[in-house]
Amino acid sequence: GGRAGQPFGATLPIAALGGLPLTATVAISGIVTVRPSVLRKNALYVQDASAGVMILLKSKVEWPALEPGQRIMVRGKRSTYHGEQQLKVNTLADLVLVSGGKAVPPASTSGAAITLAQVGRLVQVRGTYLKAAGRDLLIRTSDGATVRLHPPTGMKKPRYRKGAPISAVGIVGRYDSTVRIQLRGLPDLGIVGGLPDTGAADLPRGWWRWLAGLLLVAGAGLRLRARRQSIRRTTGESAPRPGGRSPAG
């Protein structure tokens, strides 16, 4: 794996990367927020106090297992992927696992604050469900902004009714001109303040009326069945037995 505890020397704050020319080689230190290949093959995200950034690991290299909360140092070449900044790391010598630790808590933010300046950061946003847009989900935050939630490949997209209160955690990402929150999985999605649980299909409007009607129909059916059984028992008791005599008149 990476060489534990051996720093490269001076590192830059992640926020300073934007001022460097493309292809510049730079070293940074940060805490892992997304493990490799969750959002994109061989890519992970790290974050420091100033910003976050995507790290692209070269394929066909036996990289160490990396988990959220671990602090790492990386040295890589600055580039972009569909407009989003990334550091390309090519060899094991360019990645150092510094220490373990606690996962970074998401920063609570408003919908209007989901901008290019936040790309790479782990955030949490709340709003109400609007609609599906292809693979994505759209929510409306309290400040009137529309936020796009982008699930990872393979995640089953939950269904919600319009207006359902949604809480979402994820990495702010950029894909060409679109800024969106990239979900790491179903645990990043939840209904605020009630059912259904995270990832479950939402109940339709007026579900309690539907349930009450179903119970009424079921109750009426049970009562009718009990009445028929009672009639059969009464009829059976008064009817003559086979081969027997009718009661005297």
Higher pLDDT, 219 or 115: 115
User: Is the sign of the CA dihedral 62, 65, 68, 70 positive or negative?
Assistant: negative
pLDDT in the model for residue 224: 75
Interval 21-79: pLDDT, tens: 988 999 999 999 999 999 999 999 999 999 999 999 999 899 999 999 999 999 999 99
Place of tokens 């599906």: 132
Burial of 89: CB neighbours in 10 Å, binned 0-12, 13-18, 19+: buried
Residue 81: φ, ψ to 5°: -130, 110
Structure tokens at 22: 């493309």
Give the C-alpha distances (Å, rounded to integers) separating 18 from 82, 90, 112, 194. Answer: 15, 21, 22, 41
Give yes or no for residue 148 having a pLDDT over 80: yes
- Please compute, for residue 81, the number of CA atoms within 13 A of its CA located in the half-sphere on the CB side: 14
- pLDDT digits 0-9 by tens, 122-138: 999 999 999 999 999 99
User: Given this model, what pLDDT does residue 236 score?
Assistant: 62
Q: What's the pLDDT at 42?
A: 93
> Could you give all domains of the chain from N- to C-terminal order, each with its CATH number?
14-99 (2.40.50.140), 122-191 (2.40.50.140)
**123 vs 109: CA distance, rounded Å:** 7
Helix (H, G, I), strand (E, B) or coil at 212: helix
Residue with tokens 């950034």: 53
Q: Is the pLDDT of residue 90 over 80?
A: yes
DSSP code at position 8:
-
Residue 165 predicted with pLDDT over 50: yes
Nearest to 121 by CA among 112, 113, 130: 113
**Residue type at 207?**
W
CA angle 247, 248, 249 (to 5 degrees): 115
Residues linked to residue 56 through DSSP beta bridges, in sequence order: 43, 88
With bands split at pLDDT 50, 70 and 90, how would you rate the model's confidence at 8?
confident
pLDDT of residue 180: 97
